[in-house]
Amino acid sequence: MTVAAGHEPGSADRGTAEQFRHHLASAPAVGLLLAAVLMFMAWFVPAAFNWDVHMRYWRPLHAEWDRRLGPGTIPSVLLAILGVCLAARLARTASWPRLLMGVYAVGVAWMVSLATVDGLDGIGVILDTDYEYLQTARGVDSWGEVSTLLHEYVDRIPYAHPDNWPVHLAGHPPGAVLFFVLLAALGLGTALTAGWAVIALAATIPVAVLITLRALGAEDEARLAAPFLVLGPAAIWLAVSGDAVFAVFAAWGLCCLAMAATRTSTRAMAGWGVLAGLLLGSCVMMSYGMPLLGIVALVILLVARNVRPLPWALAASVVVVLAFWAAGFAWWEALPVVRERQYDGVAKNRPQIYYLWGNLAALSYCAGPMMLAGVATALGRRRTSFREVVRGRGSTRVVVLLTSAAVAMVLVADVSGMSKGEVERIWLPFVPWLLVSTALLPELWRKTGLAIQVGLAIWVQHVLRTGW
């Protein structure tokens, strides 16, 4: 018997085995494995060594075990199946307007279906708890009371104050509670109506990110990333968290900056730049961690090779901060007081050595483990020097640089010690800019990866009660 060259017995098996080993050693596999290890170890290490990290049962999440089914169970499962089967193809073939409308509609449906696993209470009850903003917001019904709130804000942050702020008001600038004051003034002050408002706004985040990518010349990558931006476990926290509002302001602020940086008309550039500054400045007045968005903002200007919008955006953002100062609240005076309040509370008992990596595990739950697979793939594309990446062209470069900026934001936030746990909601403004990296995943990884993302979302919502 004669055997053709290159087809000796066993060569096919060896080739298959080599391909398998190659896939296991690939960047997506390394990233996915890292996410899985982080998620498991963040739960296992405290349990195995009886290490009290001052978090609820399912560490590293602010969550406890609570298996349940509810009205949203069947819709969420059906939407997950349809998403895995159809989302990628529809994202590639739909016209741009239809893609944006579809992304928004599916985003609303996904958040609502997950939240209503707990019935309508799943949409609004959390926003009405003692530590949230809404109860305080309903008591502010005039400009005089807003002024009083701002003038008293820093004084009422410390635990020692007899009328200290609830946890979330103490931990955030007053822009956060003022947003809910506005909702109440518009007649949306009940838990349920405020919850619907948060969902309606949060569903616009993927739209803003897609528009940003397209403005920067990466429409194809935007279409590839779209399913991951919409269908994932982050929706669990976006649907019920005030931090989702911060993520909305952040996404649209950065989107406006990208529009400014890609306009040819000076008037259009200035207009978009001012709008970007107003949104990003408002974001800073909602969360002390939001100045980190400046990293992504600078990268957007770098990608567009246009720094002309910077003075306009910077000036507008400073105007917002100074307006709050003139009204009675100084951000720079509040920050050290907030840190003292933080370490008077549970933060003093949460070991930094755990949360340095436990935070990344919580982020992997929120963004989904395919986030790290995408990040590893994007960073693996930087085989040339950073200077060559910056000077290069092409849509892949856009994704690589945005991903790098998002990673930098997370690392700075992590090592700062200002976030010890609960980052599954605190880092929501960072999540979409990490997920753009999924556009660079190989096709097979995207197909199977989306199933992993939606599967984790359904598991978390049906097995854990997150408390947000």
Which position has the token pair 């799943």? 122
pTM above 0.75, yes or no: yes
Q: Is 31 part of a structural domain of the chain? A: no
64 — phi, psi (to 5°)?
-135, 160
- List per-block mean pLDDT (blocks of 10 residues) for the chain, which spans 468 residues: 42 47 70 96 92 86 93 98 96 97 98 97 92 94 93 95 93 96 95 97 98 97 98 96 96 98 96 98 97 97 96 98 97 94 83 94 97 94 55 80 96 90 94 97 94 98 89
Q: How far apart are CA 136 and CA 168, in angstroms?
A: 11
Q: Is 237 part of a structural domain of the chain? A: yes
Of the candidates 311, 258, 322, the residue with the CA atom closest to the CA atom of residue 284: 322
Look up residue 123 and give its two tokens: 């949409």
Q: How far apart are CA 46 and CA 60, in angstroms?
A: 9
Question: How many CB atoms are closer than 10 A to CB 340?
Answer: 13
Q: Is 23 part of a structural domain of the chain? A: no
Q: How far apart are CA 186 and CA 29, in angstroms?
A: 48
Q: What is the DSSP string of 95-129?
A: -HHHHHHHHHHHHHHHHHHHHGGGTTHHHHTGGGS
What residues does 65 pair with on adjacent strands? 464
Q: Residue 390: its pLDDT value, please?
A: 56
Q: Is 214 part of a structural domain of the chain? A: yes
State yes or no: cis peptide before 60, omega within 30 of 0.
yes
Q: How far apart are CA 430 and CA 363, in angstroms?
A: 10
DSSP state of 265: S
Domain range for 279: 68-465
Contacts of 40 by beta carbon, 8 Å cutoff, 6+ apart: none
Q: Is 117 part of a structural domain of the chain? A: yes
Which position has the token pair 């001012």? 274
Look up residue 90 and give its two tokens: 């529809």
Which position has the token pair 């897609």? 210
Q: Is 406 part of a structural domain of the chain? A: yes
Q: How far apart are CA 455 and CA 81, in angstroms?
A: 9
Q: Is 16 part of a structural domain of the chain? A: no
Q: Is 53 part of a structural domain of the chain? A: no
Q: Please state the domain count of the chain.
A: 1
Of the candidates 362, 380, 360, the residue with the CA atom closest to the CA atom of residue 437: 380
DSSP state of 465: E
